[in-house]
């Protein structure tokens, strides 16, 4: 089974956006993880000014609808309103994730190669040739 969800990226306003959308859409579950709450990595310490920013947030709505969010990390390219929504595609089939990533990469730009993260065994980001930013993730 595969799923697609909108993923919103903000410039430090994620907590405010999550609170508003959760209220407006009667969220049944809300999870927020800041950069400061991530597992520590001595090779890549989180700067103080980033610790309060949202690394990932998830709002679950009725009907298995999910909305996901994050803030941009200091030093990363800043988002432009209108370019701050990506498509997050998750599948329980790792080979399917790899195949889609490869196809979207043709004529596109890989911003994060497929790799293991603390939340997924196989995660990557690619902007396709049409300018759509995709986040692909294997869900075990």
Q: What is the CATH number for 126?
A: 3.30.720.110
Number of structural domains (the chain) is 2
Range of the domain at 37: 1-76
Note the pLDDT of residue 85.
Answer: 80
The reply to whether 68 and 2 lie within a common domain is yes
What's the token pair of residue 45? 């310490």
CB neighbour list of residue 49: distance below 8 Å, 6 or more residues apart: 74
The reply to whether 60 and 116 lie within a common domain is no
3-state SS, one letter per residue, for the chain: CEEEEEEEEECCCHHHHHHHHHHHCCCCEEEEEEHHHCCCCCCCCCCHHHCCCEEEEEEEEHHHEEEEEEECCCCCCCCCCCCCEEEEEEECCHHHHHHHHHHHHCCCEEEEEEECCCCCCCEEEEECCCCCEEEEEECC
Tell me the mean pLDDT per 10 residues along the chain, length 140: 86 90 89 94 90 96 88 83 80 91 92 95 90 88
Note the pLDDT of residue 109.
Answer: 94
Note the pLDDT of residue 140.
Answer: 82
Note the pLDDT of residue 55.
Answer: 95
Note the pLDDT of residue 65.
Answer: 85
């Amino acid at each position: 089974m595969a799923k697609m969800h909108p993923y919103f990226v903000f410039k430090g306003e994620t907590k405010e956006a999550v609170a508003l959308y959760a209220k407006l859409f009667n969220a049944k579950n809300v999870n927020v993880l800041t950069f400061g709450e991530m597992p520590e990595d001595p090779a890549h310490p989180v700067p103080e000014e980033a610790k309060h920013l949202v690394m990932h947030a998830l709002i679950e709505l009725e009907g298995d609808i999910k909305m996901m969010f994050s803030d941009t990390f200091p030093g990363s390219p800043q988002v432009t309103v209108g370019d701050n929504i990506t498509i997050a595609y998750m599948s329980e089939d790792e080979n399917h994730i790899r195949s889609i990533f490869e196809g979207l990469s043709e004529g596109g730009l890989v911003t994060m190669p497929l790799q293991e993260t603390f939340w997924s065994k196989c995660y990557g980001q690619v902007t396709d040739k049409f300018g759509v930013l995709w986040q692909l993730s294997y869900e075990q």
